[in-house]
Amino acid sequence: MANRSGDVTMGADVTLKTKRILITAAGQGIGAASARACAAAGATVIATDINGDLLADLAGVPGIETRVLDVTEGAAIDALAAELPDLDGLFNCAGVVHHGTLLELDDAAWDFSVNLNVTSMVRMCRAFVPGLLRRAESEGSTSILNMSSMASSEKGFVARTAYGATKAAVIGLTKAIAADFVAQNLRCNALCPGTVDTPALRGRIASAPDPVQAEKDFIARQPMGRLATVDDMTPTVVHLLSDGSRFVTGQAVLVDGGCTI
C-alpha cells in the first residue's frame, strides 16, 4: 500500500523491475503519483505531459525521464513511438471533465472531449502496440492501462454527459483491445476511479458558484465519507502494469470507495 506518492510496499509479484512504462498526463494528479509509484517499484518511467513546467517536479527523480507530449497530436505521438525503445507498459491517463447536461453540451465541447478522452488513446495504443507486442513475445506479458471513471457505463452522474459517454467509450475500447491481443500476452484494462482529490478537481470546485458547497457535494457522494487521494489509486495502477496481474485483462477496475455498490 502507499503512504505517500512513490512510497509503495508490494508483494513479490508486484514489481516493475526491468520494465519501461510510458504515462501520459504525468505532470500532476494521478499521472504524477503513478509515475513516482512505478519508478519506486523499479520501472523506467517516461513521464509525459502537454505542460513541460508541470513535469519539472519529476525531473531528477530516479527512474523517471520526462517528455513534453500533446496526446491530441498524432504526428507527435508517432514520432515519440519511433524514438523510444519498445515499452512494457502504457498508462493512458490524459483526459478532461466537461461539466454540463446534454442541453449544455455544444459541438465544440463534445468534439474536444471525444478527441482527448478517447481518440488520443486510440492513437497512443496504435503507435505503441507493435512494440508492446514485441516485448510480450520476448518477455511474456505487457500491459496497457486506460483511464476511465466510475462515471461511465458503470454509473450515471448529473451534469456529466460528455464525460460519462467518453469514459464509457474508453471501457469499450479497452475490452476491444484486450480481445484483439489476449492470445499474444498483451493485456489491456481500464482504471475507474471515484472522486479523487487532484488539482483538476480543486479547479472545478473553485469555479463552482458555491465552492464550499461543491466540495461538500463531492464528498457526500462517496460512501466512505471522504475524497480519494492519488495514493488510493497508485497501488492498483502498479499492480495492473505488473506481471502480478498477468491473468487480468479486459476489465474495468473500480477504485471508487464503494460509490457504485
What is the DSSP track for 12-23? Answer: TT---TT-EEEE
Percentage of the chain surpassing pLDDT 70?
A: 95
Over residues 167-192, mean pLDDT: 98
Is a pLDDT exceeding 50 seen at residue 5? Answer: no
Which is nearest to 239 in space by CA: 7, 6, 10, 4? Answer: 10
Who contacts 31 (Cβ-Cβ below 8 Å, separation ≥6)? 23, 24, 25, 47, 49, 91, 93, 94
Which is nearest to 70 in space by CA: 52, 84, 56, 50? Answer: 50
Residue 163 known to be catalytic? yes
Is a pLDDT exceeding 70 seen at residue 257? Answer: yes
pLDDT digits (tens, 9 = 90+) for 205-242: 999 999 999 999 999 989 999 999 999 999 999 999 99
Please report the pLDDT score of residue 144 as a whole number.
99
The whole-model pTM stands at 0.93
Burial 201-216 (b: 16+ CB within 10 A, else e): beeebeeeeeeeebbe
Is a pLDDT exceeding 70 seen at residue 116? Answer: yes
Distance from C-alpha of 137 to C-alpha of 139, rounded to nearest angstrom: 6
Q: How many residues does the chain have?
A: 261
Residue 3 to residues 85, 101, 112, 182, 234: CA-CA distances in angstroms? 32, 37, 36, 34, 10
Is a pLDDT exceeding 70 seen at residue 12? Answer: no
Place of cell 460528455: 162
Percentage of the chain surpassing pLDDT 90?
A: 93
Determine which one of 128, 163, 181, 218 is catalytic: 163
Please report the pLDDT score of residue 8 as a whole number.
40
Distance from C-alpha of 106 to C-alpha of 35, rounded to nearest angstrom: 34
Who contacts 173 (Cβ-Cβ below 8 Å, separation ≥6)? 118, 121, 122, 125, 146
pLDDT digits (tens, 9 = 90+) for 120-138: 999 999 999 999 999 999 9
